[in-house]
């Protein structure tokens, strides 16, 4: 199925730094979801966004539903080693249609 | 959050045999479940959408006779890889949609190795 444009593809940062990643699409979504996947495991839902302009936090994570409904952002503040993993965005339109980003691989250097 | 469980977590089978992977929603009823395949360092590839009580909808290029999907109840969907070959070795993940269907939760994934 269709994939969303997610960037950056990979990030190497120092512990304590902030992280930003985003997903964009040429079409409108009604829901944006952000997941983290550790190696060899299934993705875990971090934040769900249901309304344009919505800004939601989950601990050190903050995500925003873009006002145009065509993009979403995820920020991680004060990164720690356990933040390492692959982060995926997912967009939902209607029915059973979910579209996934290509993933952002995050490496945190202690 | 909602819990989706997969079993087995990993399985090794001989080439030519069939293997079944289960996906269960433990604390909610899921009318729709999804099956994905994931290659190393790549994103999820949707294989099929499974609706309770009806036939699964397969994505283009996915062989429905090879990857049999059954969704007999609101809490269980199964993926059977028939006549498995080494190239079927992969990480298979399921997900289930909750409530109004705009949020999905993933299982832990199942590693399949065909020898």
Mean pLDDT value across residues A5-26: 96
**For the segment A20-62, what is each residue's pLDDT rounded down to a tens digit?**
999 999 999 999 999 999 988 999 999 999 999 999 999 999 9
Q: State the smallest CA–CA distance between residue A25 and chain B in angstroms.
A: 16
Give the one of A33, A41, A105 whose C-beta lies nearest to B103's C-beta: A33
Q: State the smallest CA–CA distance between residue A28 and chain B in angstroms.
A: 14
CB contact under 8 A, A96 and B97: yes
Q: State the smallest CA–CA distance between residue A42 and chain B in angstroms.
A: 4
Q: What is the pLDDT of residue B99?
A: 66
How far is CA B115 from its chain centroid? 20
CB contact under 8 A, A96 and B32: yes
Residue A100 exposed, middle or buried by CB count within 10 Å (0-12, 13-18, 19+): buried
Residue B99 exposed, middle or buried by CB count within 10 Å (0-12, 13-18, 19+): exposed
Give the one of A31, A43, A96 whose C-beta lies nearest to B106's C-beta: A43
Residue of B nearest to A10 (CA): B41
CB contact under 8 A, B104 and A48: no
Alpha carbons A103 and B3: distance in angstroms, whole number: 23
CB contact under 8 A, B43 and A95: no
Q: Is the pLDDT of residue A1 over 60?
A: no
pLDDT in tens, chain B (115 residues): 689 999 999 999 999 999 999 999 998 888 899 999 998 888 889 999 998 888 899 999 999 999 999 988 889 999 999 999 999 999 999 999 876 778 899 999 999 999 9
Alpha carbons A84 and A101: distance in angstroms, whole number: 18
């Amino acid at each position: 199925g269709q994939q969303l444009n997610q960037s950056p593809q990979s990030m190497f940062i120092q512990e304590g730094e902030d992280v930003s990643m985003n997903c964009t699409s040429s079409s409108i979504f009604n829901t944006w979801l952000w997941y983290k996947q550790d190696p060899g495991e299934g993705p875990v839902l971090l934040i769900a966004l249901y309304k344009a302009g919505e800004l939601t936090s989950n601990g050190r994570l903050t995500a925003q539903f873009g006002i145009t409904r065509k993009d979403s952002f995820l920020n991680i503040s004060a990164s720690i080693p356990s933040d390492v993993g692959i982060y995926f965005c997912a967009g939902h339109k209607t029915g059973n249609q979910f579209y996934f980003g290509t993933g952002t691989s995050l490496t945190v250097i202690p | 959050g909602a819990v989706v469980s997969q079993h087995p977590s990993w399985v090794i089978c001989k080439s030519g045999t069939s293997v079944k992977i289960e996906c269960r929603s433990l604390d909610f009823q899921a009318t729709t479940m999804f099956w994905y395949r994931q290659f190393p360092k790549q994103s999820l590839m949707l294989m099929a959408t499974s609706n309770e009580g009806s036939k699964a909808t397969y994505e283009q290029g996915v062989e429905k006779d090879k990857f049999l999907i059954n969704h007999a109840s609101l809490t269980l969907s199964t993926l059977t890889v028939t006549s498995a070959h080494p190239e079927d070795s992969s990480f298979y993940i399921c997900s289930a949609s909750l409530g109004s269907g705009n949020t999905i939760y993933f299982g832990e994934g199942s590693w399949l190795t065909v020898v």
